[in-house]
Chain A
Amino acid sequence: MMKRSIILVGLLFCLLIPLSTGATEESNSWDVDLDNGYISTKPIIIEDQVIVRTSGFWTGEDRPHVYSYDLHEGTQNWKYRSNTSTQHDMSPLLHVEAGSGECGNWDEMILVGWTDGKVTALDISDGSLVWSAQTEVITWGVTGAMALDSDVVVVPTRKGLSTFCLDGGDLELRVDLSELGWRNGVTVSQVGYYLGNEDGVLNTISRQGEISNTSIGDGKIRHAPIETTNGILIHLQTSTGSEIYVNNELLSVEGYSPAIPLKVGKMVFLATSSHVISVDCEINCSIEGRTNYHTNGEIVLQPDGQIWFPNNSPEGGWGTGLPGSEITTFHTLLGTYTTAGPGFGTNGELALGNDNGVLTVFSSNAASDSSDVEKSKTEESNLYLNQALILLLCVAMFYFQIQKNNKMATKVGLLILLVIMITILPDISNTWSKEIGALEEPPGDWDDSWPDEWLGTQVMVFELPDGELVVGGFADFENVEDFTDAAAAQLEVTVAKESYDIGDLVTSFNGYEADGWEFTIDGKRSSVGMTEAELAEDSVVRWSPA
């Protein structure tokens, strides 16, 4: 009897072996935690420097920075702090080589767009401010990708477009537009500049400031338009997912939260929360490949031709490969949600940043060596140990059957059933809950006293014992947990959470534990946890004591 008890305890311990063992720190790699921030845009490697920016909703004394680290040693070269940017900075860093043009001469620098509307030019050698220019702020300022056009930088602003001379930052061109933009990068072309916005309108702006526009559809353009030989390609974010348009013709209906597309030669790579997609525009743009993968954010080309897709899931990592074929995931030790693309050095160095604000840099050897060790298919690594355990139990059951010990064989068989059920429960439960959730329409949770500007945006309500706190105007949050963190930071509400296998749970807001906390989305209780609970672009999330 005692032996069986020991076997049972041993098997229970086997169940508890972590599903992934994680990577060990390579001697020729380094990590650094950029305090209290996300890394939402790709680090850039310039010679012996890795330069990266942090983003977040900043309160108190915390503010976003641009950091420079030694590529090989990981020691900090310099950092630049914005004292006035407090929103999520999503505009990628822009490296500018030294040069000259009609408007003047300039040294090598890093251009940074901020949500306080500023554009700053930083000296690449010490991070000192070379010049600064101001653009308009309507809740946010600059959030999209800037671009270079000869001797000017073209800046997509909140409600228009500005160009500034690289020498001194003098305003060269200003165009006001009627629609708001967010994360709407600008594309420089022979005809001028292409710029989308939150109303699905594609603007074409000549270098003299003449505007023509066309409505692509009912949705939001949140990337720099892609110029192809068949017309402009737009991945429009809609309330029901996304749509790919080429030359204003619908090419394909896709999933939620489109990533920022990437053009490589005649190919365009796109992605959503459900697929990575390639479009071949050699003759007439057509879908060439598609693979299931969850990615949002920046798609990046590795110099050797591989495409990297940030894995925006709790496991994190970066998918590599081509749509239509297998996508493998590259993991770092401290993986978590990721939307920033990787930065590549000329000698094979690799810089990676994630939503925990952890920057990981691999030297060329480490990157290539670790690729053999760490590259793995996420699903396979998770399944491997479970399958091994089930196999072990199956062998045990077979052994007992050979011994004609049917009683023990039955016992082990039941254990196998339990292990399988525990393994598949999260997936089964989520799928089941979504099916059940579809039976019930949300009643809605809009309060007419809230500002009209919040209509169609994401709104957060905290029902605290000392009063209700509300904040709105958010966009693009995909799950309740991320949205809660951002809104709480904005309202200076402290959030305490505990992690479980089924996801994170909130234990207190501002120290109030109550009997637990629960949330509703549009007035409806969620059937899944806050990590899994998906949001629409106009969701109202309400936290209240259980």
Chain B
Amino acid sequence: MVLTDGVHGPALAPVELLAINMLLITISFFLLCRPTHSAKREILVLTSITAAAAASRILLEPFPNVQPLTMMCLVMGATLGARRGMAFAVIATMVSNLVLSHGWWTLFQASGWAAIAFAGSRLGLVVGNVVEMKRLAITAVIVSVLFDWWVSLSIFTSGMTISEFGIYILNGLPFDALHAVASLVSAVWIAPWLANLIFEETLQIEEPQVSGEADVITA
């Protein structure tokens, strides 16, 4: 007479898994952010944000197509430039897919988000540490839908007709809409904070690092 877990063995609920994931990733994030005043600060900041981006995909896995990474790619491209933004997109995709599942689609996802980061670098979405919110919001909505369609190409095989692919795309429209709204929410909630964080960190990197000997000379 025991209370059992069913015939398929014990399994953690998505919420429990999510809580564990969030705890581990949060710890990792803060470990990577500290110490902040080191010579490797720039790479630590980039690594931390990349880890956070990858974590956001893993954490939000229970919600289909809620992808803050889309907005983050736009902001990273806009603040750090095309090269770093694209690198960020590719690394975040690969790292998160190690957990979520890695395959042919990773190529499309990585290239899609890299393209979004490139677009972010060219559209003037962030000036200094100020986000051009209207422009970012519109861009986030559009690129979210385009990204979904691009990634959908990964299932297009030689045996698939154009009409079948069209039906596949039509089937995904509710998910595209959710991605667009999620990106919009990410833009208004996270983008200003993220842009400001990157601006402040990179600003401090550019400031002269005063050493003890320099102090002596200056004095």
Contacts and interface: CB of A to CB of B under 8 A. Distances in A.
Interface string B177-200: 110011011001110110010000
Contacts of A30: 1
B101 interface: yes
Residue of A17, A336, A421, A515 with most partner-chain B CB within 10 A:
A421
Contacts of B19: 16
Interface in B1-25: 1-8, 11, 13-15, 18-19
Contacts of A411: 185, 188-189
A150 B3 CA distance: 41
Nearest to B184: A414
B62 A16 contact: yes
Contact of A8 (B163, B164, B173, B190): B190
Nearest to A76: B1
A358 interface: yes
B6 A336 contact: yes
B127 interface: no
A286 interface: no
Interface in A397-428: 410-411, 414-415, 417-418, 421-422, 425, 428
Which size class do A's interface residues fall under?
A: 35 or more
B175 interface: yes
A35 B9 CA distance: 11
B185 A73 contact: no
Contacts of B190: 5, 8
A525 B181 CA distance: 28
A343 B29 CA distance: 55
Contact of B185 (A4, A414, A432, A525): A414
Contacts of A136: none
A16 B17 CA distance: 11
B171 A501 contact: no
A439 interface: yes
Contacts of B178: 418, 421-422, 425
B14 A501 contact: yes
B173 to A, nearest CB: 7
Most chain A CB within 10 A, of B2, B101, B185, is at: B185
B182 A357 contact: no
B18 A16 contact: yes
A461 to B, nearest CB: 16
Contact of A515 (B14, B103, B184): B103
B7 A356 contact: yes
Interface residues of B, number: 43
A25 interface: yes
A429 B6 contact: no
B6 A33 contact: yes
B65 to A, nearest CB: 9
A433 B169 CA distance: 11
Contacts of A525: 164, 168
A334 interface: yes
Contacts of A429: 174-175
A12 B26 CA distance: 14
B162 to A, nearest CB: 13
Contacts of B188: 410-411, 414
Contacts of A436: 167, 170-171
Interface in A286-332: none
Contact of A1 (B5, B171, B196): B196
Interface string A499-516: 111100000000000011
B1 A5 contact: no
Contact of A433 (B11, B171, B192, B193): B171
Given A418-B185, A432-B173, A440 B3 contact: no
Contacts of A333: 3
A418 B141 CA distance: 13
Contacts of B192: 1
A132 interface: no
B1 A32 contact: yes
B163 to A, nearest CB: 8
Give the most central of B60, B182, B188: most A CB within 10 Å.
Answer: B188
Contacts of A25: 3
B11 A499 contact: yes
A35 B7 contact: yes
B33 to A, nearest CB: 13
A35 B188 CA distance: 52
B181 A421 contact: yes
A418 B181 contact: yes
A525 B184 CA distance: 32
A470 B209 CA distance: 71
B64 interface: yes
A371 interface: no
Nearest to B61: A500
Contacts of A410: 188
Contacts of B7: 33, 35-37, 356-357
B6 A74 contact: no
A515 B104 contact: yes
A17 B8 CA distance: 24
Interface string B105-132: 0000000000000000000000000000
Nearest 5 interchain pairs by C-beta: A74-B1, A33-B4, A515-B103, A356-B6, A429-B174
Given A31-B4, A432-B174, 19 more contacts: A1-B193, A5-B190, A5-B193, A32-B4, A37-B7, A334-B3, A336-B6, A358-B6, A411-B188, A417-B185, A418-B181, A422-B66, A422-B178, A436-B167, A439-B167, A499-B14, A500-B14, A500-B62, A516-B101
Interface of A: 1, 4-5, 8, 12, 15-18, 25, 30-33, 35-37, 73-75, 333-334, 336, 356-358, 410-411, 414-415, 417-418, 421-422, 425, 428-429, 432-433, 436, 439-440, 499-502, 515-516, 525, 527
Interface of B: 1-8, 11, 13-15, 18-19, 60, 62-64, 66, 101, 103-104, 163-164, 167-168, 170-171, 173-175, 177-178, 181-182, 184-185, 188-190, 192-193, 196
9 contacts: A5-B193, A37-B7, A415-B185, A417-B185, A421-B177, A432-B171, A436-B167, A501-B64, A527-B171
